Amino acid sequence: MSFKRVQITEQEISLERSRFPRVFSKGPKELVISYLLWGGVGLLTLYSLYRFDFFSYNFIFGLGKLGDVIIGQMFPPTGFDKLPEFSKAIAETLAMAFLGTMFGAFAALPLSFFAAKNMMPVRPVQFGFRRFADLLRGFDYLIWALIFVRAIGLGPMSGIMAIAIVETGTFIKLYSETIENLDTKQVEGIRAAGGNRLQVIRFGVLPQVLPVILSNTLYLFEHNTRSAAILGIVGAGGIGFLLSDRLRAYEWQEACLIIILIVITVYAIDHLSKIIRERFIYGEGQKPSGPVLDKEEA
C-alpha cells in the first residue's frame, strides 16, 4: 500500500487559520496560565542562581582558574609505565558495573510483573512493589556504597552491591512500564487458545518486552560503568580508587591519564552496546530506518 504525500501551501494554512482562529490559537485563560508558568520558572531559576552565588566574583574567577588546572597542570598526561595497573583497575570497574547491572536485572524481572498494573490485579500489592522500587532507587549509588563499605568492608563487592540495589529499583520501574504498554492482541489470542497465565507470559508478554528490556539494560550498563568509576572514591574499588588517590596527592597528570582511560572505556562500551541493541532489536544485518524528515523538512 502506498500513500501520497499531500502538499499544503502557506496560503491554505492562512485560510484555515482565518476560518478557525480558536483552533490555531490559545484562549485568554490558557495564555495567562502559560505566562504565569513560564514566568514562575524564570523567577525560580534566577533566584536559585542568585542564592547559590552563580553571579559572584569567586565563581567567575574560579572558572578562569579551571582552564589553568586542566591545561596547565593535567597536560601532558604521564604514568604510562603504570598502564598495567590502570588496566587492571579498569577491568575491575567493568566487572563491578556488569555484575551490579546483571544482579539488578535478574532480581527486577520477576518483580516487575507484580508492579505492572495489567499483570497484578490486586492494587495494594502492585502499589507496594512500585513504592519498594522507589525506595531502592531513592538513594544514590554513593550512599549505598558507603553503607556496604561500612557493613562488608572496602573493595569491589561493596560497589557491586550498591549498583545492584539501585538498579533493582530502576529496572522494576522501567520493566513494569514496558509491560504495561504492550500490545494486548497477542495476549488475548493466547488466552483465547486456552493458554494459562504462565503461557500468556511466556508467549504473549516476553517476546514483546524483551527487546525493550534488553535496550534498557544495556543503556544502564553504560551508565553504571561511569558510576562504578566514581564509587571507588568512597573505597568501593576499581579505577575510581586510583583516580581519587592521584587527585588527593595532586598528581594531576596521572589523574589525566586515568580520566582519558575512563572516557575511552565508556566510549567502547557505548559502541558495543549499540551494536548489540541493533542486532537484537532490528535483527542481524538490519539497521534502523533512515531519517524521518526529508532535507527540505528538516
Q: For domain 79-282, give the fold.
A: MetI-like fold (1.10.3720)
Instruction: Tell me the per-residue pLDDT of 75-117, one tens digit each, with 9 for 90 and over.
Output: 777 778 878 888 888 888 888 889 999 999 999 988 888 888 8
53: DSSP letter: T
For residue 169, which of 116, 128, 131, 113 has the smallest C-alpha distance? 131
Enumerate the domain spans of the chain: 10-55, 79-282
Rounded CA separation 123/114 (Å): 10
Report yes or no on whether pTM surpasses 0.85: no
DSSP string, 86-151: HHHHHHHHHHHHHHHHHHHHHHHHHHHHHH-TTT---HHHHHHHHHHHHHHHTS-HHHHHHHHHHH
For 167, the grid coordinates are 538498579
Task: Find cell 524528515 and name the residue.
Answer: 293
SS3 27: coil
State the average pLDDT for the chain. Answer: 79
Instruction: Tell me the per-residue pLDDT of 242-255, one tens digit each, with 9 for 90 and over.
Output: 888 787 877 888 88
Rounded CA separation 297/10 (Å): 14
pLDDT computed for residue 1 by the predictor: 47
